[in-house]
Structure formats: structure tokens, C-alpha cells
A = this chain, B = another copy of it.
Amino acid sequence: MSLQPVPRGSAVDAVLEQMHEQVASGAWAVGDRIPGEHELSAVLRVSRPAIREAIRALSHVGVLEVRRGDGTYVRSAADPRPLLRRMERASLRDVFEVQLAYDVQAAKLAATRRTPDDLRRLEALLRDRDAAEDPAAFGEADSRFHLGVAETARNPLLTEAFRFFRHRLRESLSALREDRDLPEGGPAPHHAVLEAIAERDADAAGSAAARVVEPTLRALEEVL
């Protein structure tokens, strides 16, 4: 007989898994009140703290909503966990392709909605980017400029999504140290983005934003 690893995993994770299953399958529909903590504790044969930790984790991501003195309700069936896990092990190409989508849309909207103040702010950010010396400062300034464009799009949801993705992705990139010698198209493409935004030309801004990322993307394709 062959040796097999003993089943591992914590009680809380098991509870988490089962709750997720209930929500995903529709057994617990959005809006429903789920069984109480004592009842779940009795049914699943785990202690109440274990139940509470699972509920806390799911309520933190908006799947559940706890109303003190009342009960716990299902708020959404979509758990961001698969997305978060995927983000940690995504390939560089996949990462850049998603970032590209955000950059293009942000640039297009920014071109439509920018104010004179926005323009001055973006110009300053771009100057900082051009002036950056060491790679760390450059990466920081680069992020600030891109985020500035996203904010100019006047779409809080887009801004927040952009911010989160960019933050996570820069982390995993620097962790892998794989951003060492990716080609950088130089300052020209970025200036083209700003110019198109200044002229309120949405299509040009979108194209310019695409051209910022595309050299890097193409280089990645060649490596594969």
C-alpha cells in the first residue's frame, strides 16, 4: 500500500468552504437569513468561535452581513477570493493585459472630463516621472502619473479598481524581481497620452495609453 498524506486543513477553513458552497449553490440565496451561530455550531460540530471566524471572513468581503441582535444575512453570492488567488499566481502577460484595459479606459474618460486643474496636476506628475533617477523613485512616479490619469476619469469605481490592481500587481512583480529588464518605451508615449487628454481627444488618448504598455507586452510575448 502506498503512503498518503493525512487529510489536513483547519476546522474554520472547512466551515468557510461549506458556507461558500451554500451561497454559491443558492441554498442560501441573497437576502436570506442564515442559521444562527449556535445552530451552525451544533450542526457542523465545531465551536462557536470557529463559526464566527468564518462568518467574519465572509462578511469582510461583503458576502455576508451581520446584524447584531438579529441575525446574519447573505449579501452577495460573488466571493472575490478566486480573483485574489488568481492574482497572486498570474503570469506577467496576463497582468499587463488587464492593466492595459484599465489604462485605456481611464485615458479615454480622462480626455473627456479633464479640467484645466487636472491638466496642471498631470503635467507636474509627468515632470516628476521624467526627473526620477533611481528605479524605485521612477516606479513610484510612474504609478502616481497613471493613478492621476485614473482619477481624472472621474469614476470612483474605476479609480479604486485601478488602485487596487496596480498595488497588488506591483507587489507581485517586485517580489518576483522579474521587472528587472523589461523594456521601457521612454517618455514619449506618456507625453502623447497627456497631449491627447489636453486636446480632449478620447480616441487618441486611448490609443496612446495602449502604446505605453504595448512595447512591454510585445517583449513579453517574445520571451514566451
Contacts and interface: CB of A to CB of B under 8 A. Distances in A.
A104 B105 CA distance: 9
Contact of A56 (B56, B62, B83, B156): B56
Interface string A104-124: 110001000000000000000
Contacts of A161: 83, 98
A174 to B, nearest CB: 9
A145 interface: no
A60 B78 contact: no
Contact of A77 (B16, B100, B171): B171
A32 B175 CA distance: 14
Contact of A88 (B52, B59, B62, B77): B62
17 contacts: A30-B171, A49-B49, A54-B56, A56-B56, A61-B81, A62-B84, A76-B168, A77-B167, A77-B171, A80-B80, A83-B161, A93-B155, A94-B156, A97-B105, A98-B158, A101-B102, A101-B104
Interface of A: 12, 16, 30, 49, 52-54, 56-62, 76-78, 80-88, 90, 93-95, 97-98, 100-102, 104-105, 109, 153, 155-158, 160-161, 163-164, 167-168, 171
